[in-house]
Structures are given as C-alpha cells and as structure tokens.
Amino acid sequence: MAELQFQFISVFFAVAIPLLFVVLMLEKGDSRRIILYFCWGLFAGVLAFHLNNLLGSSHAQAQRVTVSIAPILEEMLKGLPVLLFLNRKKYPQVSKLIVFCAMASGVGFSIQESLYFFAVSSREIIDLLALIVRTLTTALMHGMTTALFGIGIIVTQKLRLARLPIIFGQFAFCASIHALYNLLMYTWLAWLTAVIPVVMFGAGRLFLRRIEIE
C-alpha cells in the first residue's frame, strides 16, 4: 500500500508540475483555466485514493465504499473547484467554459484511478487491453459526471434563491449516476457501463451546440 501511495503522489508531481509551467507561459484565458482544473483532478485522485482506503479498511467496508461512499466523495472532490464559477462578480454569466473545466477535472481524476488499477494488475497484455477499455468507459464516465455538474450550474444559474439546495441536489444526482455505474459493473447488465458514458458524452455535445446556437 505504501508503494501505491508513493506512486500516486509521484505521478501527480510528474504530470502537474510540467503543466503548471505551461500555465505560467500562457496568458490568462480559457486554456489556462482548463489545465489548472486538470491538475486539480490529478490531486483529487490522490486525495480520493487515500480517503477511500481509510474508509474501506476491511473487505466488507471496501465493497460498501465502492458502491455507496466513493461516488459521493469522488464527485464532491472533482466538482469542488467548479463552484468557483458561482462568483457572480467574476462570472456574471456562466458560459460553456465551466463544462470544459469540469470535464478536465474529471479526466485528471480518472487518470489517477486508471493508473491504480493497472498498478495492482499482473501487467500482462490482457491488463493493457483492460486499461484501454477502462479509459474508453470508466474514465469517460468520470469526466462526464463532473461535466454534468457544470451543465447543471449553467441551467440553474438564474435560480438564485434556491441556489444552495440545488447545488447539493446536483452533487447528489451526479453521485447517483456514478453509484449506479459502479453497481452495474457487478451485475449481468455490466455491458451498460460501456453505453452510459458514450450517451452522456453525446448529450453533452448536443447541449454545448445548443448553447452556441442560442
């Protein structure tokens, strides 16, 4: 476990520090924010790894954490910096940038998680193929559930009085999708885990196109 913890932290520094140099070279703008959110996702992956292990110390607890606790914890960690867009002085009108930043955070998180599963595998060809499948499904799911949180903020940005309960509701909705995804992986409906992320991605693309038209 100590070796895995060291690997997680080392990957974070190996990827995040060079990207932060790129951020310093870029002028203030969308690209800079997206990279910063990606770096946050990498950090959130490290933090979630340690918290999940802390909460799931036994086998029975690990199963409960995977299905019940981890989805809530992970969605909150990934989506936490997305709340910065609620600053009306800096973002009087929330644009589609929030979706790109949110997805970047989710993708950064998914990289750390995918590396974990590959690290504990036997590292054979079949494990490499499993990693590719995972990046096309579970990794996309992580990116899109956080992007969905960003989309929710765009849709509800005019509802100022009910803002706080709506935010909690959006977190709960994203965590529910995440939990359902994890649950399906242990049933005969596991094939749906390859369909759900693709459907979410397509719906997200359609939503962004609609915003451009409007």
pLDDT in tens, 109-166: 999 888 887 777 777 788 888 888 888 898 899 999 999 999 999 988 877 666 788 8
For 76-113, the pLDDT digits (tens) are 999 999 999 988 888 888 889 999 999 999 999 999 88
pTM of the model: 0.89
Cα gap 153→173, rounded to integer Å: 13
Identify the helix (H) or strand (E) that includes residue 37. Answer: helix 30-55
Cα gap 153→144, rounded to integer Å: 14
Cα gap 117→112, rounded to integer Å: 9
What pLDDT, on a 0 to 100 scale, did the predictor assign at position 58?
A: 56
What pLDDT, on a 0 to 100 scale, did the predictor assign at position 35?
A: 94
What pLDDT, on a 0 to 100 scale, did the predictor assign at position 175?
A: 93
CB atoms within 10 A of CB 27: 6
What pLDDT, on a 0 to 100 scale, did the predictor assign at position 213?
A: 60
What pLDDT, on a 0 to 100 scale, did the predictor assign at position 166?
A: 86
Residue spans of the domains in the chain: they are 2-213
For 39-53, the pLDDT digits (tens) are 999 999 989 888 877
CB contact at 8 A, 99 and 35: no
152: nearest Cα among 139, 171, 138, 165: 171
What pLDDT, on a 0 to 100 scale, did the predictor assign at position 62?
A: 57
CB contact at 8 A, 49 and 39: no
CB contact at 8 A, 162 and 98: no
What pLDDT, on a 0 to 100 scale, did the predictor assign at position 127?
A: 82
Cα gap 109→204, rounded to integer Å: 19
Q: Is the pLDDT of residue 65 over 70?
A: no
Query: What's the first-to-final CA gap in the chain, in angstroms?
Result: 51
What pLDDT, on a 0 to 100 scale, did the predictor assign at position 82?
A: 95
177: nearest Cα among 129, 133, 119, 138: 138
CB contact at 8 A, 96 and 154: yes
Question: Mean pLDDT over all residues of the chain?
Answer: 85
What pLDDT, on a 0 to 100 scale, did the predictor assign at position 1?
A: 55
Cα gap 173→111, rounded to integer Å: 23
Residue 4 banded pLDDT, cuts 50, 70, 90: low
User: Stretch 43-67: mean pLDDT, rounded?
Assistant: 73
